[in-house]
Structure 1
Amino acid sequence: MYKINILTKGFISPNACAFLFPIIVNKRRLIDSGISYSIFQDISERIYDCDVLILDSRYFSRLWNIYGDDQILKRIEELKNKINAVLFFDISDSTGWIQSQVLPYVTAYYKSQLLKDKNLYLDNHYGNRIYTDYYHKKFNINDETPAINRKIKNKDDLNKLNISWNSGLANYSYLGPYLTSLYRYLPLEHFLRYPKYFHQNLNIRDIDVSCRMGINYPRKTVCYQRKQIRKMLSNSLRTNKITRRKYLTELRNSKIVVSPFGFGEITLKDFETFLSGSVLVKPNMSHMETYPNFYIDDNANATDTISTHTWDLSDLETLIDHILTDYDQYAEIAVNGQNRYRHYISTKDGYEEFCLYFKEIIHKHIN
């Protein structure tokens, strides 16, 4: 039996919830596969008693500013000196913003999504995201306070980059966020369960397009895409936020859901859309790899799970028109996306696949 310790602040954010959710839900399956784990919210002597230590990046979020890089890195190094393997799990939203200062001090660095071309992490990207860099260079969009660059300086450190799992493996049904919040204060396993209901695409849908979204981001390069989409679609639909109940009802009655990038390429709207059975329209995702891969767009409706447009948005309106004109064909994409999502969050095979994936991560770093 391999013993894993996880240092985390717990269910303090949607990403933190999605990081811990599949581990806790699959606790018994993991034990059956030879893996036991303990969760720590602070560093104590007991944390050293393990084969592998997993560090949740959110644990350190505020500490970087309070204590500075040197002191935090020294603490991580102390952990690494006493434990066989220390894995840093970056649970932030995007393929970018690698916390490169950590790399020399950990065994491996896991991230929910990575750039397919890892060599790009050796380059500077404005805003520390490949798409914010794109909008900065192509449309001269500038942030009021440009982000400090976090590019990787040592090419050998690229070998430490690995993919963990993305934020899809949690409960995004109507009650999901409320049940997850309850678990934070009353940690009963009953509160952590995946949704069982999926709204079929075959149902009549009265709304052509839904695109509810926030646009108030502190960085102009992040919100630029969303503001442009809002401007393009303003004559045909409203994009302002509404109550969660009304929002999910709208998704279930929509043929298309447009889901732009935010702080990251992946947004929670993606998974709400899979549950609703709508066609998910995203900016091109071909630069990214993630697990599970819910984002397949090979221009083959038999396997595609999303439909995509270019980052400059020049083809977005045309794409929407094509989908609405030939909706019966594009509906296959919605069915594929929902079936793929259902596999991972609602089937025994999907649960066991996650456990195998997690076990392979652990095996990779045990001597």
Structure 2
Amino acid sequence: MIKIKLCEPHIHRNETTFRPFMVAYEIFKDVGIEFTMSDDYDYAFVGQASIIDKKKPLQESIDKGLEFVSKITGDYIIVDGQDATTLIGTIDVFRESNATLFLKNSYLKDFDLYKKGWANGRMYWGEGNYSVPDIDELKPKMKLTGCNWLSTMNPQWFNNFSEKKYDVSCMFGYPSKQVVYEHNLCQTYYYDLHRRNLLKIISDKYSFVGLDNGQKVSMDEYFKRMSESKIVMSPFGFGEMNPRDVQSAMLGSVLIEPDMSYILSKPFVYENDETYIAVNYDWSDLEEKIDYVLSDYENIRDRLVQNFRRKFVEIYDTKNLVLHFYNVLKGLDDVE
């Protein structure tokens, strides 16, 4: 039995990172892998919340992360469960650490893109100062976790679709209620600009429902408004994947969001014009895509929603995560 200790599993972002593994706890045991809190372990899982502090300047965050891993006496694996392809903070700790592996939910398919400078490593936010010039040297120890943000969900599929009163649902936070900084870089500008530009296009032509000045509503009201919309818009935030993506299929609405084809993740449910409708990040083709969906709504809705549901159930089976991680461990020299 290979024992894996979960470090600080109750910290919020670590909890969501480790959750898919804990859901499959018994299945993992069946293949000889046990997750534990004990100090009797073969490898430790170090979640991103233990080694990065986004409220600090980047170098201070890195130093804090290195101090944390320096106290681990055995072998350990860094697990970055963030819902974004950026490597900022976590890969910097990995680079200077003795970690056995670096696991992450999502990467850029083209690793060469990490050599370019992006705003806090988020390619979709445009040019910036963060890059990973030595990605080729680090890549051999970088693997996928085998799960992602959507793995934390257990959707209930509704078959009696609500009457669709609105063309579009914009049930997302905007404007931001506070300015958010990550390693001294303001995130709010990028976050709000993307959503503001979307709403400008929607409000001029289509009937839509959203939040009043970004004020949250109850979950019942949130789902009601979304279920009454033909299309659910899912703009990017601090990451690309969002629970809203699955909720659109739950409620029988068409999902439209920026093109996801540049992402490497497993499982991966996003297939343009099969499970969702991809648009350009700058929304330059949004009207064209909305008009396409509305032109034959019921047929397009039925096809995309059913495809999304079928594919999600198939690829998000916990047995797939167990098999993937088993093979990751099997590739280590000291694991037989």
| TM-score normalized with structure 1 length | 0.77
1:285 is displaced (CA, Å) by: 0.9
Paired with 1:344 and 1:289, the residues of 2 have a C-alpha distance of 15
Partner of 1:188: none
1:102 is displaced (CA, Å) by: 1.7
Residue 352 of structure 1: which of 291, 294, 319 is its match? 319
Any stretches of 5+ residues in structure 1 without a counterpart?
A: 40-45, 137-145, 172-193
Answer 1 or 2: which has greater strand percent.
Answer: 2
Distance of aligned partners of 1:64 and 1:107 in 2 relative to their CA distance in 1, 3 Å threshold: farther
1:313 aligns with 2:311: no
1:269-317 deviations in Å (ceiling 9; x for gaps): 11222322321111011111112101112x5xxxx21111112211101
Paired with 1:351 and 1:69, the residues of 2 have a C-alpha distance of 33
Residue 115 of structure 1: which of 104, 108, 116 is its match? 108
1:73 is displaced (CA, Å) by: 1.5
Partner of 2:136: 155
CA contact 2:50–2:68 (8 Å) conserved in 1: no
Partner of 1:234: 203
- Amino acid of the residue matched to residue 53 of structure 1? A
User: How does 1:241-280 map onto structure 2 within 5 Å?
Assistant: 241-280=216-255
- Amino acid of the residue matched to residue 123 of structure 2? I
Report SS of the residue matched to 1:357.
helix
1:55 aligns with 2:46: yes
Distance of aligned partners of 1:250 and 1:342 in 2 relative to their CA distance in 1, 3 Å threshold: farther
CA RMSD of aligned residues (A): 2.6
Paired with 1:229 and 1:19, the residues of 2 have a C-alpha distance of 30
- Amino acid of the residue matched to residue 151 of structure 1? V
Distance of aligned partners of 1:61 and 1:74 in 2 relative to their CA distance in 1, 3 Å threshold: closer
Q: Which shifted more, 92-101 or 57-66?
A: 57-66
Partner of 2:7: 7
1:87 aligns with 2:87: no
1:364 aligns with 2:323: no
Answer 1 or 2: which has greater helix percent.
Answer: 1
Partner of 2:16: 18
Paired with 1:277 and 1:328, the residues of 2 have a C-alpha distance of 10
Distance of aligned partners of 1:54 and 1:256 in 2 relative to their CA distance in 1, 3 Å threshold: same
Partner of 2:93: 102
Distance of aligned partners of 1:227 and 1:280 in 2 relative to their CA distance in 1, 3 Å threshold: same
- Amino acid of the residue matched to residue 316 of structure 1? L
Paired with 1:325 and 1:77, the residues of 2 have a C-alpha distance of 59
Any stretches of 5+ residues in structure 2 without a counterpart?
A: 181-186
| TM-score normalized with structure 2 length | 0.83
- Amino acid of the residue matched to residue 114 of structure 1? Y
1:65-108 deviations in Å (ceiling 9; x for gaps): 497533531542453xx434x21111222111433322231222
CA contact 2:166–2:229 (8 Å) conserved in 1: yes
Distance of aligned partners of 1:228 and 1:210 in 2 relative to their CA distance in 1, 3 Å threshold: same
Report SS of the residue matched to 1:308.
strand
Distance of aligned partners of 1:3 and 1:276 in 2 relative to their CA distance in 1, 3 Å threshold: same
Report SS of the residue matched to 1:273.
helix
Report SS of the residue matched to 2:125.
helix
Paired with 2:16 and 2:270, the residues of 1 have a C-alpha distance of 18
Paired with 1:275 and 1:152, the residues of 2 have a C-alpha distance of 41
Report percent identity of matched pairs.
24
Partner of 1:213: 172
Paired with 2:165 and 2:271, the residues of 1 have a C-alpha distance of 26
CA contact 1:210–1:251 (8 Å) conserved in 2: yes
CA contact 2:2–2:42 (8 Å) conserved in 1: yes
Report SS of the residue matched to 1:132.
strand
Report SS of the residue matched to 1:168.
helix
CA contact 2:208–2:229 (8 Å) conserved in 1: no
Partner of 1:340: 311
